[in-house]
Amino acid sequence: MNYKKETIVNELNGESYVKVKHPSGLTILIWKKEGFTTTEALFSAKYGSVNNRFKRKDDADFVEVPEGIAHFLEHKLFENEDCDVFELYAKTGAMGNAYTSFEETTYLFSCSENYAESLRILLSFVQKPYFTEQSVAKEQGIIGQEIKMGLDNPDRKSFFNLLNCLYVNHPVKIDIAGTAESIAEITPELLYKCYNAFYNLHNMCLAIAGNLDVDEVLKICDEELIPAVDYQLDASVIDEPQRVAQSESVEKFPVGLPLFNIGYKCKPYEGYELMKKEHTASILLQLVAGNTSKLYNDLIDEGLINSTFDFEVFWGTGHFNIILSGESPEPATVRRRIDEEIERLKTTGLDRSEFEVVKKSKYGSIIKSYDSIDTCASYLLNSHFAGVDVFDLQKVLAEVTFEDVQNGLYEFFNKDMSAISIIEPISQNKEGECNA
How would you classify residue 32: left for phi > 0, otherwise alpha for psi between -120 and 50, otherwise beta?
beta
Q: Compare residues 143 and 288 and give the one whose CB is closer to other proteins.
A: 143
102 contacts other proteins (rule: CB under 8 A): no
Contact between 267 and 417 under an 8 Å Cβ cutoff? The reply is: no
Q: Which helix (H) or strand (E) segment is 7 a member of?
A: strand 5-9
Part of the chain binding other proteins (CB under 8 A), chosen from 48-56, 262-270, 358-366, 381-389: 358-366
Site residues for other proteins, 387-426, by CB under 8 A, read 426
Of the candidates 184, 185, 181, 177, the residue with the CA atom closest to the CA atom of residue 150: 177
Contacts of 43 (CB under 8 A, 6+ apart): 106, 107, 108, 122, 123, 126, 204, 205, 206
Contacts of 203 (CB under 8 A, 6+ apart): 45, 46, 47, 233
Site residues for other proteins, 82-101, by CB under 8 A, read 84, 86-87, 89-97
DSSP character at residue 173: G
152 contacts other proteins (rule: CB under 8 A): yes
Site residues for other proteins, 156-175, by CB under 8 A, read none
DSSP-assigned beta bridge partners for residue 21:
27
Contact between 54 and 233 under an 8 Å Cβ cutoff? The reply is: yes
154 contacts other proteins (rule: CB under 8 A): yes
Part of the chain binding other proteins (CB under 8 A), chosen from 61-69, 139-147, 218-226, 316-324: 139-147
- Dist. CA 321–CA 327, nearest whole Å: 20
Part of the chain binding other proteins (CB under 8 A), chosen from 100-108, 122-130, 138-146, 201-209: 138-146
As measured in angstroms, the least distance from the Cβ of 126 to other proteins is 16
184 contacts other proteins (rule: CB under 8 A): no
Among 297, 333, 401, 407, binds other proteins (CB under 8 A): 297
Part of the chain binding other proteins (CB under 8 A), chosen from 41-49, 109-117, 213-221, 236-244: 109-117
Alpha helices in 101-153 (DSSP H): 115-126, 133-151
Among 1, 5, 6, 142, binds other proteins (CB under 8 A): 142
As measured in angstroms, the least distance from the Cβ of 383 to other proteins is 19
As measured in angstroms, the least distance from the Cβ of 115 to other proteins is 10
Of the candidates 55, 39, 114, 49, the residue with the CA atom closest to the CA atom of residue 377: 39
Per-residue CA distances from 197 to 51, 70, 145, 193 (Å): 11, 12, 28, 6
361 contacts other proteins (rule: CB under 8 A): yes
Residue 170 CB neighbours (<10 A): 23
81 contacts other proteins (rule: CB under 8 A): no
As measured in angstroms, the least distance from the Cβ of 208 to other proteins is 15
- Dist. CA 20–CA 4, nearest whole Å: 6
Q: Compare residues 155 and 273 and give the one whose CB is closer to other proteins.
A: 155
- Binding pattern to other proteins, positions 196-225, x when CB under 8 A? --------------x---------------
132 contacts other proteins (rule: CB under 8 A): no
Residue 7 CB neighbours (<10 A): 10
As measured in angstroms, the least distance from the Cβ of 282 to other proteins is 12
As measured in angstroms, the least distance from the Cβ of 171 to other proteins is 23
CA angle 208, 272, 49 (to 5 degrees): 60
Part of the chain binding other proteins (CB under 8 A), chosen from 159-167, 223-231, 260-268, 299-307: 299-307
Per-residue CA distances from 170 to 48, 52, 173, 175 (Å): 13, 11, 6, 12
The catalytic residues are: 74
As measured in angstroms, the least distance from the Cβ of 154 to other proteins is 6
Part of the chain binding other proteins (CB under 8 A), chosen from 49-57, 60-68, 164-172, 356-364: 356-364
Q: Compare residues 90 and 229 and give the one whose CB is closer to other proteins.
A: 90
Among 217, 373, 397, 405, binds other proteins (CB under 8 A): 373
How many residues form the binding site for other proteins (CB under 8 A)?
73
As measured in angstroms, the least distance from the Cβ of 119 to other proteins is 15
CA angle 231, 173, 366 (to 5 degrees): 80
301 contacts other proteins (rule: CB under 8 A): yes
306 contacts other proteins (rule: CB under 8 A): yes
Site residues for other proteins, 313-342, by CB under 8 A, read 327
Q: Compare residues 10 and 414 and give the one whose CB is closer to other proteins.
A: 10
Contact between 42 and 381 under an 8 Å Cβ cutoff? The reply is: yes
- Dist. CA 420–CA 244, nearest whole Å: 11
